[in-house]
Amino acid sequence: MKTRLFVLVLAGVFCFGVRLKAQRTPFAGGLVGISALSADGRSLTTGSEAAVSLYKPENGAALNFFGGVHLTDFLSLQGSYVWNRNRLTLTATRTSAAEGIYYEVSRNSTQHSVIGDLLLYFRDRRSWARPYLSVGSGLVRFTSKEQALLAVRGTPQLPPQEFKSNAGALRVAVGIDFNLNSNWSFRYSFSETIRRNPISEQLSPPGQRNLANFQNLFGFFIRL
C-alpha cells in the first residue's frame, strides 16, 4: 500500500512538473511613459535662528525594457531595466539675528534601475484583459548634476556640483495586459519605486523622507 502511494505521489509530481513546463512562455517588451519623483523638505528653529530646505522635482521621461517568463496562468517572473530623467530645484535658507543666507539651484537627475519582479495575474492567459499586481526589488543608481545657480546670498552650504548614489529599492506596481493576438500584447503599468533619498541628504538641513519614483508606463510585449 505504501509503495503504491509513493508511486502515485511521484507520478503526480512528475505530471505537475510537465504541465508547469508546458505552460511556461517567455516574453519580452518595452514601455515608455512619465516619471514623477516625490518632494521633500525640512525646517529647524532654535532661539537664535531658523533654517528651511526643500527640493521640487519636475515630471520627466521614463523607459522600461523587460523580459520574463509566464510560469502559469496566474504567476510570472520578470526582469526589468528602467531609466528615468527628472529636473530638480533645490532651495535652502538660514536666518539669524546676525545674517540671512539662502540659495536656489537648478539640477538634473537620472536613475538607472535593475529590478526583478514577481507578477500575480487575476485572469488566465486565454482572457483578452489580464490585470495584475507585482512586487520586486533591485538596485538603483542615482546621478545628479548642477545646471544653474539661480540665486545666492551670503555663503550657504551648496550641494556638490555632481553626486551619485547606489542603493537597493523596493518596487510595487499594478497594471493590465491586453492580448492583441496570439503573440502580441499591450501593457499599461503604474509603479512606485522606493529607495533611500540621495537628494534629501544634500539639503541643509537634510530632509528625512525616502525617495519615491512614480511611473505611468505603456507599451507592447511579445510572447516568444
The pLDDT, as a whole number, for residue 113 is 98
The pLDDT, as a whole number, for residue 15 is 41
Rounded CA separation 182/121 (Å): 18
- pTM for the full model? 0.86
Residue 156 identity:
P
Task: Please check whether residue 5 is in contact with residue 187, taking contact to mean a CB–CB distance below 8 angstroms.
Answer: no
The pLDDT, as a whole number, for residue 97 is 74
CA distances from 182 to 32, 107, 128, 177, 224 (A): 23, 45, 10, 13, 10
pLDDT digits (tens, 9 = 90+) for 7-42: 444 444 344 444 444 479 999 999 999 999 999 999
Rounded CA separation 153/110 (Å): 28
The pLDDT, as a whole number, for residue 129 is 97
Confidence of residue 98 (pLDDT cuts 50, 70, 90): confident
- In whole numbers, what is the pLDDT of the chain averaged over residues? 90
* From 43-47, 104-108, 198-202, the region with the lowest mean pLDDT: 43-47
Q: Domains for the chain: give ranges and CATH numbers.
A: 22-223 (2.40.160.20)
Helix, strand, coil share of the chain (percent; to 5): 10, 65, 20
What percent of the chain is modeled with pLDDT above 70?
Answer: 90
pLDDT at 138 over 50: yes
User: Residue 108 phi/psi, 5° resolution?
Assistant: -110, 165
SS3 157: coil
pLDDT at 47 over 90: no
Confidence of residue 158 (pLDDT cuts 50, 70, 90): very high
pLDDT at 80 over 80: yes
CA distances from 197 to 64, 71, 213 (A): 21, 35, 11
The pLDDT, as a whole number, for residue 165 is 97
